[in-house]
Amino acid sequence: MYIQMNPGLGQVATTFDVNKAIRNNRIYGQQLGWQKYYGDIAKFLGFTVKPSESEFAQEVAQWQQSQGMKADGMIGTLTWKAILAVIPVGPKVVRRVQFALNRLLGTHLVLDGVLGQETRNAVRSFQQRERLSVTGDLDLGTQRRLEQTFYVPLPAMFPCESEEVINHFVKREAFVVSDDTKRYDQFIKRISQCINDSQRTSAPIEYIEVTGHASKEGPADQNYQLGWKRARRVAEDLKANIKAKRVEIIYPPDHSAKPLPSGVIVIVTDSKGADKLIAKGDTEIAHRKNRRVVVTLPIIKEAKPRDCPPNPSGVFTQVIIDLVRQVIRDALHRVLRDAADEAPPGLRGFIKSLRNKLLRIKPPTAVRFLCKSETNEAFKVFGGSLDLTKILISDGLGLFGRPFTVAVNHPDGWHVVMNLGHLDSWIANRRRKCILIHELTHAWQSQHHSTNKQAFMWNAIRNQVGAAISAPDFNFRAAYAYIPKRPFGENSAEQIAQRVQDDYRGTEKSPDILRVIRPVKPYVHSAENENSLNKVSILAKAHPGVRWPTPCN
């Protein structure tokens, strides 16, 4: 069947095959993910009630013609992009954006789903950082960049989520019928286990949506209340089974909800009442199917460890070695300067007279990339958050013959070089593995700073010099001592590295630290990281609650 479109001003009449449009819209709706937003698109096109597929295609064609596009009635890739660019952003998308901005920028936006002034300011900051048009609007480009930068799929973009459904709730109640109690318990246990298992991957699930539905038996306001009750029941049962330091349930109608810090698993509840029925008819079987709760989880493909780069060429090696030696000289100069400034007057001349041999610094003579087994070990801790192709190991050593990691600005980009003393395998024993993970944490700190890739070095030097000067036996350990469960930004560079190392060796678990480290992609700016690298923190062994570093044997 062909439909003739009424031409607008300055346009010519066109026809399109409505049956073909209906068939292709069914396919495009699944492929592009817009089928689940059919009602929202229909409202955007001007419908007040759900249209038939034929009416929908005709209105799409009319809109396409008004935009100067080919009027074929089909929402393909180009039409879907054009609609996304102008369609109003709903509260579901805004809440996810607020969550992502809080994690990326360190903001404390309330997850209320409202595109208010504070949220717009945060969007502007993100757009400015990513060199996008600074408008404060959630346009298509901004949504895509957010999704590319952070592991939070935005529902207006692509079908990146999994929906788990539990139905057969008792009429007008928030619990399932007695015959389905066991199935409900298994449903809660299965989803909770999925969330728990994800916490040790590079893609931890930290944002869950729980939506309650009702059948059409009661009045609309009662159906909405039933949806809220059912969503709340499921959310509370999930919270009780999720093994995390902190889980918060958000109720969007309550806009007084407090901003949430990083590391909190968020469960957002919602109610659709009887607006989205999945079973038609007025039978008890249909009503039971419609009395349901839908749990939406993001589907995120965990990154896989990349193949090791080939051994560096002689020219590359020499450039890296020269750069590392220059950085070490600069670091030594800063160490002596800071130590002389902080030392008692009687020691200042002695400190300034120290030279490389006395300080047991070993300049590097050879470098290599990480081997396959080392990259696999790194992946267990850092997931996909490190670019391991820009990290090398050298045979050099730092102050007093200790490992020392530096960042150097090579013509091919910033590289991190871990001066570990030799080029043998660094997973040969437990001690070497711990050192490898500790120094890789510094590599992470370098790659996730927006402007100063060497900030971790200067922060580590500042804290180590302070610790050595303040200790009667020049003991550096006070720079590594930390308070468990302190927020990420309140730890210095060495304290973060020590906490990651201790978590790896199993002596002190720090899931809150790893929740900041693992989810981000390489080179994505981390506000918590930058706050940490400005922190001076030296703890005495007698400090209450302090975890004093111990050798890893």
Indicate the residue among 86, 106, 129 that finishes a domain.
86
The answer to the question of residue 485 being in a domain is yes
106 and 244 inside one domain:
yes
- pLDDT at residue 35 is higher than 70: yes
Q: How close are the terminal C-alpha atoms of the chain, in Å?
A: 78
Burial string for 215-235 (b: 16+ CB within 10 Å, else e) reads bbbbeeeebbbbbbbbbbbbb
The answer to the question of residue 537 being in a domain is no
220 and 340 inside one domain:
no
pLDDT category at 155 given cuts 50, 70, 90 is very low
In the chain, the number of structural domains is 3
- The backbone region for 360, taken as left when phi is positive above 0, alpha when psi lies in -120 to 50, beta otherwise, is left
pLDDT computed for residue 299 by the predictor: 59
The answer to the question of residue 540 being in a domain is no
The answer to the question of residue 292 being in a domain is yes
297 - beta bridge partners?
A: 162
43 and 172 inside one domain:
no
Rounded to an integer, what distance in angstroms lies between the CA atom of residue 328 and that of residue 399? 9
69 and 167 inside one domain:
no
CATH (domain of 271):
3.30.1330.60
pTM beyond 0.85: no
CA distances to 101, 197, 419, 440 from 432, rounded to whole Å, are 37, 27, 13, 12
Instruction: Judge contact between 382 and 517, C-beta under 8 A.
Output: yes
Query: Which DSSP letter does residue 533 get?
Result: T
71 and 116 inside one domain:
no
The answer to the question of residue 551 being in a domain is no
259 and 192 inside one domain:
yes
Q: Which of 134-143, 285-294, 346-355, 467-476 has the lowest mean pLDDT?
A: 346-355
Rounded to an integer, what distance in angstroms lies between the CA atom of residue 367 and that of residue 517? 26
- pLDDT at residue 547 is higher than 50: yes
**Domain housing 338:** 314-532
324 and 273 inside one domain:
no
Indicate the residue among 86, 116, 133 that finishes a domain.
86
Cβ within 8 Å of residue 280, ≥6 positions away: 286
C-alpha dihedral (330, 332, 338, 342), degrees to nearest 10: -170
pLDDT computed for residue 201 by the predictor: 61
111 and 66 inside one domain:
no
Joined together, the tokens standing for residue 25 give 């819209």
pLDDT category at 24 given cuts 50, 70, 90 is very high
Instruction: Judge contact between 166 and 190, C-beta under 8 A.
Output: no
The answer to the question of residue 197 being in a domain is yes
419 - beta bridge partners?
A: 394, 404
Concatenating the DSSP letter of every residue in 248-303 gives EEE-TT-TTPPP--TT-EEEEEEEEETSS-SS-SSSHHHHHHHSEEEEEEE--PPP
pLDDT category at 157 given cuts 50, 70, 90 is very low
Inter-axis angle of helices 117-129 and 91-105, nearest 10: 60
163 and 76 inside one domain:
no
Is the Cα torsion angle 126, 131, 134, 138 positive or negative in sign?
negative
67 and 104 inside one domain:
no
Which among 505, 531, 506, 502 is positioned nearest to 516, based on CA atoms?
Answer: 531
The answer to the question of residue 272 being in a domain is yes
117 and 260 inside one domain:
yes
Rounded to an integer, what distance in angstroms lies between the CA atom of residue 277 and that of residue 436? 55
Q: What is the pLDDT of residues 478-535, one digit of tens each?
A: 889 999 989 898 999 999 999 999 999 988 888 888 878 887 778 888 888 999 999 9
Indicate the residue among 245, 271, 298 that finishes a domain.
298
The answer to the question of residue 457 being in a domain is yes
Instruction: Judge contact between 443 and 416, C-beta under 8 A.
Output: yes
Rounded to an integer, what distance in angstroms lies between the CA atom of residue 358 and that of residue 375? 35
369 and 492 inside one domain:
yes
